Amino acid sequence: MSTQKYPVAIIGSGNIGTDLMIKVLRAGGPLEMAAMVGIDPDSDGLARAKRLGVATSSAGVDGLLAMPQFGDIRLVFDATSASAHVHHWDQLRDRDIRVLDLTPAAIGPFCVPVVNLDAHIDAPNLNMVTCGGQATVPIVAAISESAPVSYAEIVSSISAKSAGPGTRANLDEFIETTAAALREVGGAQRSKTVIILNPADPPVLMRNTVYCLVDGDCDHAAITASVEAMVGRVRRYVPGYELKQAVQFETFDADHALHIPETGKFIGTRITVMLQVTGAAHYLPAYAGNLDIMTSAALTTAERIAEHSTTRMGATA
């Protein structure tokens, strides 16, 4: 195993884990794909890994721990479920290994790479929030740079065909984790998350609508520029991420206030941002942008961690 590389492993041989493995192998960056483990010996992910020369096991995290190359692995991606991640973290937490959690378990700090990775780059367990979080938290954070966001609400619509058993089992965690990240990372004072599984055939692309309320007036040009710049930053690692319309502003004054059931009359500005995510189709179909944005965010986060680790080791040598 090359000493110039940063060996990684994936727990979970489903759609997300398999797409992530292919991205690591295609990237040509600092990461080296060392192992993939799952619990289904007949999964396509494990079969593909074997064909590509990646070490595999169908004994889950126990199989990973038993592999002779486990001692070389520096980082583990967990692409399973929120409940499974709790168990996996119990087995990995006392070992000298980093964990990137692609489930909504939210044991470690939230990580949206374009917003707050630098603040948590040394955390042993980083949570990649959710697909909706990766798509919308950067926009709320961009608006928060120019004006305090008193409320953020996001609506993520994804193809039902792109929502596998893990996604469906974790819908409650998805809603809670995404809403929390809108506050903790995006900077909103209050938040709400809505997810729609769209059964349309042919399958629809992932769409995200972000609504933000800002008290009083705000600098429309500055917010537009901030949002557009943030979209450009996300596109560096998710090329299919795009604005579908210009940023919209609607102002409410004392004579035409917006009524909010929880808080009463609102006087200020409602900002609406409409986004679309088209997947790269490395393994998953292009309509599965919700899964692609998760694996792309995890890949860029792991690459940054690897580069940071190499730089730190060089400085202390």
Ordered per-residue pLDDT tens for the chain, 317 residues: 445 799 999 999 999 999 999 999 999 999 999 999 999 999 999 999 999 999 999 999 999 999 999 999 999 999 999 999 999 999 999 999 999 999 999 999 999 999 999 999 999 999 999 999 999 999 999 999 999 999 999 999 999 999 988 889 899 999 999 999 999 999 999 999 999 999 999 999 999 999 999 998 899 999 999 999 999 999 999 999 999 999 999 999 999 999 888 888 999 999 999 999 999 999 999 999 999 999 999 999 999 999 999 876 666 65
Position 1 scores a pLDDT of: 41
- Does the annotation count 218 as an active-site position? no
Alpha carbons 120 and 127: distance in angstroms, whole number: 10
Position 310 scores a pLDDT of: 81
41: preceding bond cis by omega (within 30 degrees): no
pTM to 2 decimals?
A: 0.95
CB under 8 Å to 11, separation ≥6 — which residues? 17, 37, 38, 60, 61, 64, 76, 77, 78, 79, 80, 88
The alpha carbon of residue 86 and the mean position of all alpha carbons in its chain are separated, in whole angstroms, by 18
Position 261 scores a pLDDT of: 84
- Which residue of the set 111, 131, 212, 218 is catalytic? 131
Position 315 scores a pLDDT of: 61
The CA-CA-CA angle for residues 230, 233, 236, to 5°, reads 150
Q: Residues 276, 289: contact at Cβ < 8 Å?
A: yes
137: helix, coil or strand?
helix
